[in-house]
Structure 1
Amino acid sequence: MPVQIYSPFEKFNFSNTSCFLTGQPLQSTEEKIQVFPQWLMSLYKLEDQPFKLLDESIATYKDLKIPCSAQVNDAFLEPLENEIAEAFAKGYKGVRALNELRLFQWAAKLMYGIVFNEIQSGIKMQHAQGEQFSMSQSILLKFSQLHMMLQSINLPLYFEEFKPFSLFLFKVNNREEEFGYRDEINTQTFALRIKDFGLILCLQDNQANRGYHHEIYEKIKEDTLHPIQFEEFSGRVFYSNYLFNRLPEYNILPVNDEIFIEDMPLRGVSSKPVFDHWVNKTYGQVLENFWKNWGFLLLEIIKDPEHPMSFLFDAEGNKISSQSILLPI
C-alpha cells in the first residue's frame, strides 16, 4: 500500500481521539504528549509559567498538550527530543552540529502543537457562542502545509533539492537562567534564545528570508552577540517574514514507497516583489517590543526615521562589538 500523508484539515479533525501526526485512533483521550518537552520545561521551570493564547485566555506551559499515539511517540518523537536535548546541552557548538532538518522538525512540532491548541480553543469558544469555527483559506493552507512537512519525522517524505525554511543561528552572551522564546504562528516564525546561543526559524518560506538578510547575516554570523543585538536581528526577521507576500506552493510526488516534495517558484505569475515595502516606523514598533527588556521607546528608536537605532551597526555601517555595549545582558 502506498505511503499516505495524513491531512487533518480536510475533515477538520482536532479531537483528542486521534493522533495529531498520523490520525490513527487512540486508546484513550489521555494519550497525549507535552507541546513544550518536559526536558525543556524542567530546565527553565516553565511548567506553571503563564502562556497566553490568541483568544487572550491564559494557559500554563504544562497545559499545552497534543494527542499522540504512544507508538508514534516512542518511535519518532522521543528520539527527536533526545537528539535535540543532547545538542542543546552542549550549547552553540552542539546546535551548530545538528542536522538542520532535525531542528526544523523539532521547531515545527512545537509550533504545530501550539496551533493545535489554538484551534481547539477557538472551536470551543465558537461553539459556546453557537457559531461554526472558521479561518481564512490562506492560514488554513499554511497550517496544512506545515503539518504535511512535519510528517517528514515519521514518513519517507523528502524535500526535493530545497529547504522549506530559513534558519539563523548565533552565539549569544545570555544570562544562564534566561529562557527567551517568541513565536508568531500566522507567519510561522520562531525564535529561541537560551544557554550560549540564539536561533530564528521561518518555518515555511523556502529560504526567502535567508536570502533577504543574507548580507547582514554573513557579516555577523560568526560573532558572539549581546542579547540586544540578537533581538535586533530577530526583529528584522520577524518583520521581514510579515512582509513576505507569497504563499509557497508544492508538488507532491509519490514514487514507489517514498514521497518527494517539490517547491514551486516563489515568483509565480505575480509581478509584485516577493517582500512588501519595508517601513521603518513599523520596524521601529517591532524593535520596541523586542527591546522591552532594555526599555527603549519608539520615539528613541526612530529619532532618525531614515536610520533607526541599531546595536549591530554604527552610522557608517561598521559592526558594533558586543563588548562595547554597556547594557545589562
Structure 2
Amino acid sequence: MTPTRISFEKWFERQYASMELCFLCGKTLTKDNSTKEHIFPQWILNKFDLWDKSITLLNGIRYDYKRSIIPCCNVCNNEHLSKLESIIKNGVEKGYQFFKENVPLIAIYQWCQLIFYKWLYKETFFKENVKDPHSEKIVRKENFESMSLNHLLLRSIDKRIKFENFFPGSIFICHLKTGQNASDNFDYLDAVPEQCIMLRLGEIGIVVMLADSEIQKYVFADQYRVYLSNILAPIQLKNLFIQCMYRQHLFNDPYSFELKDITDDSLTISQIPKENFTGDVYTEWLHTDYAILLNQVFGGGMHNYLVEKGIPSFLFDKDGNFKDRAFDSDGTILPNE
C-alpha cells in the first residue's frame, strides 16, 4: 500500500468527542475505512478473561471492557497498531524474563501511552454526572486540548519520530506473583494529572511515567532497586505506582521540547533546558499528604501510614527488610509489618 502523504499540520488533526475521525491519524472516517479499536486489545481480554469484567471510570461508573472501543481507520488499526500489539503480545506470552530482555523500551512506552490516551479519548464521550443532562464530560474540551503532546508522542507509532537526546518517560518492569484465576492477574491504574500508568499482565508488572524524560528512573534508582530485584505481590506493585505517582505530583519539569527536521512523514524532537528554571526538580515530600494518598488507595486509616522515619511501604517489614507477601495480600495488612 502506498502511504498517503499529508501536510505536517495534519499530524495534529484532533476533534473533541468525535466519532468521525481516526483517534490516531485524524483521517476522516467513512463506511469503507472505519473500524473500532478496543482500548484493551482482544488478546488481553481473552488471556485474562475480561470480556464480562468492567473497569471504573473517572466518574465512578463501571464500564465493560468489551464495550470500550474508539474510532480508528483501517490503516492505523490493521497496520500500525497491529504491529505494535504483536510485539507486546509476543513479549507477554513468553513471560517476564523475555519481556524485560527483548521487548524494546520504545514499544513498551508507545503501548502504555496508547492505552492511557485511548481511555481519556473514550472519556470525552461520558458525562461527569450521568444523572444530570447538563453535566460536563469526564474529560472536558480544555483537558483534551492539553493532551496534544501525548498525541504527538503517539504519532511515533505511525510516523518516523526521532527522540534526539532523551527518552520520553521512566519505565519500570517488575516480576510478579500470580493467582489461579486469569482475571485476578490483570489490573490497570492511571493518574491523569501526573501522567502515570500501571499495568499488571500476569507475572509482568509495568509502571510508566509518560512525561518525565526518565528522570525518576535515574534520580531514584537506589530507592526503586528493591522493587526491581524481588518477586512482588500485586499490592507491592500498586505501592510502587503510588510512590511514583506522588513523586510525579511533586515534579517540576526542567525541560521543554523543540521540533525540528520536519517533513510530511517525520520529525525530530529535541529536549532543551527551560530558560530561567529555578527551584528543585522535585518539591518537598510531605508525609501527611502521602499518608492521605495511601489511605485513599488501601484504606485502614491515615494514622497507619504515618511512620516516625522513612516512607511507609508494603515492601518492607518493621526491620526494613524485604517483606515476601502473599499474592492476595491487601491493605488490611499494614505497611512495614
**TM-score computed with the length of structure 2 as normaliser:** 0.83
Q: Which of 261, 266, 275 is 2:269 aligned to?
A: 261
Conserved 8 A contact 1:231-1:291: no
Note the C-alpha offset of 1:261. 0.6
Note the C-alpha offset of 1:230. 2.4
Deviates most, 237-246 or 92-101: 237-246
Structure 1: runs of 5 or more not aligned: none
Runs in 1 of length 4+ with deviation above 6 angstroms?
130-134
Give the Cα separation in 2 of the matches to 1:231 and 1:116.
Answer: 24
Give the Cα separation in 1 of the matches to 2:129 and 2:304.
Answer: 43
Give the Cα separation in 2 of the matches to 1:54 and 1:107.
Answer: 18
Give the Cα separation in 2 of the matches to 1:282 and 1:124.
Answer: 27
Conserved 8 A contact 1:105-1:150: yes
Conserved 8 A contact 1:31-1:68: yes
Give the Cα separation in 2 of the matches to 1:8 and 1:123.
Answer: 25
Alignment of 1:76-95 (within 5 A): 76-95=80-99
Whichever residue aligns with residue 22 of structure 1, its letter is C
Partner in structure 1 of residue 157 of structure 2: 153
Partner in structure 2 of residue 274 of structure 1: 281
Note the C-alpha offset of 1:95. 1.8
Whichever residue aligns with residue 193 of structure 1, its letter is R
Task: Specify whether residues 62 and 134 from structure 1 end up closer, same or farther in structure 2 by C-alpha distance, changes over 3 A only.
Answer: closer
Q: Which of 16, 19, 35 is 1:16 aligned to?
A: 19
Give the Cα separation in 2 of the matches to 1:60 and 1:248.
Answer: 39
Partner in structure 2 of residue 104 of structure 1: 109
Any idea what SS the aligned residue of 1:109 has?
Answer: helix
Note the C-alpha offset of 1:8. 3.8
Conserved 8 A contact 2:59-2:129: no
Task: Specify whether residues 321 and 52 from structure 1 end up closer, same or farther in structure 2 by C-alpha distance, changes over 3 A only.
Answer: closer
Give the Cα separation in 2 of the matches to 1:259 and 1:242.
Answer: 30
Give the Cα separation in 1 of the matches to 2:288 and 2:12.
Answer: 40
Partner in structure 2 of residue 235 of structure 1: 242
Note the C-alpha offset of 1:131. 7.6
**Two-structure CA RMSD over aligned residues (Å):** 3.1
Give the Cα separation in 1 of the matches to 2:109 and 2:308.
Answer: 36
Note the C-alpha offset of 1:227. 3.1
Conserved 8 A contact 1:205-1:248: no
Residue-pair matches, total: 318
Partner in structure 2 of residue 129 of structure 1: 134
Whichever residue aligns with residue 121 of structure 2, its letter is F
Identical counterparts, % of pairs: 23
